[in-house]
A = this chain, B = another copy of it.
Amino acid sequence: MTIAKDQLSSLIKRIEALEEEKKTFADDIKDVYGEVKSAGFDPKAVKSIIKRRKDPEKYAEHAALVDSYIETLGWDRTPLGSAKGEGAMVQ
Contact = CB atoms under 8 A, between A and B. Distances in A.
A69 to B, nearest CB: 6
Given A49-B12, A57-B81, A72 B28 contact: no
Quickly give the copy total for this chain: 4
B35 A28 contact: no
Identify which of A13, A45, A46 gathers the most chain B CB atoms within 10 Å of its CB: A45
Contacts of A5: 72-74
Nearest to A83: B56
A80 B52 contact: yes
A56 B80 CA distance: 5
Contact of A73 (B9, B62, B80, B82): B9
A27 to B, nearest CB: 9
